[in-house]
Amino acid sequence: MEQSPKIASLFIYPIKSCRGISVPQAPVTPTGFRWDRHWLVVNYKGRAYTQRIVPQLALIKPEMPQEAFSEDWEPTNKSFMVIRAPGMNELKIPLTTPDSVAEGVSMWEWSGSALDEGEEAAKWFSDYIGKPSRLVRFKKDSEHRPVDPQYAAGYSTTFMDLFPFLFLSQGSLNELNMLLPEPVPVNRFRPNIFLDGCEPFGEDLWDEIKINDLVFKGVRLCSRCKVPTVDQETAVMGSEPTETLLKFRSDKVLMPDKKPRGKVFFGKEMVWDWKEGSSDGKGKLIKVGDPVLVAKKMTSRNEAAI
């Protein structure tokens, strides 16, 4: 009899490509967890920085008030995100909405305006990275960043790479670590929802799951970039785990009937189908320990979108 998965950990990454926060509960919204990838570090042209080109972003640690992950919580003028990094004084960012706007912000296919966190933040990030930089916040009241309609028409997100939620299982990580020269922790893969009680790579086949009354729909397998090769404790980039993943998690191996494009896959990208279950479209909490009901599964990985 197949095991019933449950949530082992929940992770929120307030600033894109910076360190994540492990939380006991997380408010779900249509664009992802509340506060997840709401901030972005950009260069002097307004283009996004990520660990692909600035691996030392991995060493930046944001800290949020514990109550920020409660349902319906709203910040006051005493609510801050505190940011720390090696060799730097701590930086406090008010969680209330800033007044300044940065035009011409861009990340991958999206460009638009964002909220600017001001000169103190700009100097802090410029000094740390060694290049002119600014910290901006997604302007959720007026900006809209749709995901690729080929995969999930009608959904949108903030500063995530592609889709609102990334699921990964302990079983998959264990399987990979048995093959690696040195095991890697889950933070290499930056999931939002980390599951236990799931067979290795069982999440590949999930078409629809339920957590409490929330329905999540599988979008596609997560194609991995260079970020998993960055050691999140040292910011040093290597060749693993990608080198090992290529041997058994490439499109060539997993989907022999499809044209290979040299991709490797680890984790499952999903959206919250807020039109089902909780019909008001407002976020609800999910918690560590919550059971996961697999409602619909694919029969093979050849059916999975990549």
Q: How many Å apart are CA 213 and CA 205, to the nearest integer?
A: 21
Q: Do 178 and 71 belong together in one domain?
A: no
Which of 112, 145, 178 terminates a domain? The answer is: 145
Tens of pLDDT, residues 253-262: 998 888 888 8
Q: Do 113 and 127 belong together in one domain?
A: yes
Residue 32 in domain:
no
Which of 108, 128, 145 terminates a domain? The answer is: 145
In angstroms, the Cα distances linking 39 to 49, 114, 128, 244 are: 11, 9, 17, 32
DSSP state of 225: -
Can you give the pLDDT at residue 201? 96
Q: How many Å apart are CA 185 and CA 204, to the nearest integer?
A: 20
pTM: 0.95
Tens of pLDDT, residues 23-72: 999 999 999 999 999 999 999 999 999 999 999 999 999 999 999 999 98
Q: Do 182 and 69 belong together in one domain?
A: no
Tens of pLDDT, residues 159-190: 999 999 999 999 999 999 999 999 999 999 99
**Mean pLDDT highest for which of 3-7, 140-144, 176-180, 270-274?**
176-180
Tens of pLDDT, residues 70-101: 998 999 999 999 999 999 999 999 999 999 99
Q: Do 155 and 283 belong together in one domain?
A: yes
User: What is the phi/psi pair of residue 173, to 5°?
Assistant: -65, -40
Q: Do 165 and 125 belong together in one domain?
A: no
Residue 141 clears pLDDT 70, i.e. is over it: yes
Tens of pLDDT, residues 218-236: 999 999 999 999 999 999 9
For the sheet with 6-12, list strands across it: 21-23, 6-12, 193-196, 165-169, 265-272, 214-223, 206-211, 293-297
How many Cα atoms occupy the beta-carbon half-sphere of 293 within 13 Å? 7
Instruction: Judge if the upstream peptide bond of residue 241 is cis by omega within 30 degrees of 0.
Output: yes
Q: Do 250 and 199 belong together in one domain?
A: yes
In this prediction, residue 274 has a pLDDT band, given cuts at 50, 70 and 90, of confident
Can you give the pLDDT at residue 281? 47
Tens of pLDDT, residues 277-304: 554 545 589 999 999 999 999 988 777 7
SS (H, E, C) 169-186: EHHHHHHHHHHCCCCCCH
Residue 136 structural domain: 37-145
Can you give the pLDDT at residue 1? 39
Residue 144 clears pLDDT 70, i.e. is over it: yes
Q: Where are the beta strands (DSSP E) in 199-292?
A: 206-211, 214-223, 265-272, 285-287
Residue 306 in domain:
no
How many domains is the chain partitioned into structurally?
A: 2
Which of 85, 116, 145 terminates a domain? The answer is: 145
In this prediction, residue 119 has a pLDDT band, given cuts at 50, 70 and 90, of very high
Residue 112 clears pLDDT 60, i.e. is over it: yes
Tell me which of 151-165, 198-212, 271-285 is least confident. 271-285
Residue 304 in domain:
no
Can you give the pLDDT at residue 4? 85
Q: Using alpha carbons, select from 290, 185, 279, 298 the residue that is nearest to residue 231.
A: 185
Q: Do 283 and 174 belong together in one domain?
A: yes
